[in-house]
Amino acid sequence: MCDICTNQNLLRKLLVIFLFTALVAQGQTIRGFSNEFLNIGVDAAAFGMGKAVVASTNDVNAIYWNPAGLAGITDYQGALMHAEYFQGIAKYDYAAFAKPIDDQSAIAASIIRFGVDDILNTTNLIVDGNIDFNRISLFSAADWAINVAYARKINLWSKNFSIGANAKVIRRRIGDFASSLGFGVDAGLQYNANNWQFGLMVRDITTTFNAWSFEDSELDRIIAIYDDFNNDILNDGDPSNDDQVIPTVTPEKLEITKPKMQLGVARKFTIARDFGVLTELDFNIRFTETNDILSSSFASIT
């Protein structure tokens, strides 16, 4: 009975956190797009389900979709994924490992990289009006995410609840020009009842941030080249018009990702002894106004 009371208090705290997250997200003025590479997804089976797996995920890939699902694993599991986008220009790689601690809990870790390699750096191509192709160099623009998750089964009014949390460290780098470091937390909940499954996932529950730093000397040099080039176009090469300067924009140094929530319900249908069908319906909730059919100043649902 004491365990049940403790877990009920834990659930109340989680619900308070979820509601607080919604209120915090509503009161923030935050960029609409940040760390978008973390929205691509993992696992071919999940893509086949249209990414609607927050209620049914129960293997190593739950570290991405809903860490609460990790509580269902019974042995060591691993996953690898490689995908290419834009005709192979951008590459997406994912690796994950999970293991049970006991019959009630499990841990997992994963790493994600999304990057474009061998980008031509032509900032030194033209110096004092002289073109030298030997001054062209290569650099990469890559986004990294390292995730560590913990999940545990809890006994509320039923033994079929599980909760999980995922801490992530985000590293983004654009050659020698700029880099950022960020941190965030995801949290999830699952409940199974016979052939029904319910799931709740809150991403970026702490409003994930990225703090950017720039190589000032490189940035100033690029801005100077950009200004010279655009002023030449604007002034038609007439030095008498050099006082017409095109303003440049200083990059933002802090990005904050709003929390978003995913609510799902799944149902298993047994057709034959070794054959069945899994269906799931998920609702994606973003705490911002969009052009979705269900949208308000508080939240939008798809």
Q: How far from chain centre, in Å, is Cα 174?
A: 18
Average pLDDT over residues 39-52: 94
- Percent of the chain beyond pLDDT 90? 48
Q: List, in order, residues 6 or more apart from 45 with CB less than 8 Å away.
A: 53
Q: Which one has a higher pLDDT value, 83 or 159?
A: 83
Phi, psi of 46 (to 5 degrees): -65, -40
Predicted confidence at residue 135, as pLDDT, reads 83
**pLDDT score at 15:** 45
C-alpha to C-alpha distance for 254 and 182, rounded to whole angstroms = 10
Query: In the structure, what pLDDT confidence band is assigned to residue 40 with cuts at 50, 70 and 90?
Result: very high
Q: For residue 106, what pLDDT is reported?
A: 97
Q: Is the pLDDT of residue 277 over 50?
A: yes
User: Please, which pLDDT band fits residue 79 given cuts at 50, 70 and 90?
Assistant: very high
pLDDT in tens, 242-252: 454 445 555 56
Across 68-97, average pLDDT: 95
Give the per-residue pLDDT at 226: 64
Confidence of residue 19 (pLDDT cuts 50, 70, 90): very low
Which residues does residue 161 pair with via DSSP β-bridges, in sequence order? Answer: 154, 191
The confidence score (pLDDT) of residue 102 equals 92
Mean pLDDT along residues 208-229 = 73
Instruction: Give residues with Cβ within 8 angstroms of 105, minimum separation 6.
Output: 71, 150, 151, 152, 153
Which tokens belong to 66?
């809903």
User: Two tokens at 172?
Assistant: 């983004």
Residue 45 has pLDDT above 50, yes or no: yes
- Which residues lie closer than 8 Å to 225 by C-beta, 6 or more apart? 123
Structure confidence at residue 137 as a pLDDT band (50, 70, 90): confident
| Alpha carbon distance 171, 180 (integer Å) | 6
Q: What is the pLDDT of residue 236?
A: 53
Q: How confident is the model at residue 21 (pLDDT cuts 50, 70, 90)?
A: very low
Of 230 and 276, the one with more pLDDT:
276
**Contact indicator for 207, 30 with CB cutoff of 8 Å:** yes
pLDDT band at residue 207, thresholds of 50, 70 and 90?
confident
- State residue 271's pLDDT score: 86
Q: What is the pTM of this model?
A: 0.77
Decide: 143 and 208 in contact? Cβ < 8 Å: no
User: How many CB atoms are closer than 10 A to CB 159?
Assistant: 12
Q: Which residues have C-beta within 8 Å of that of residue 134, sequence separation ≥ 6?
A: none
pLDDT at 33: 59
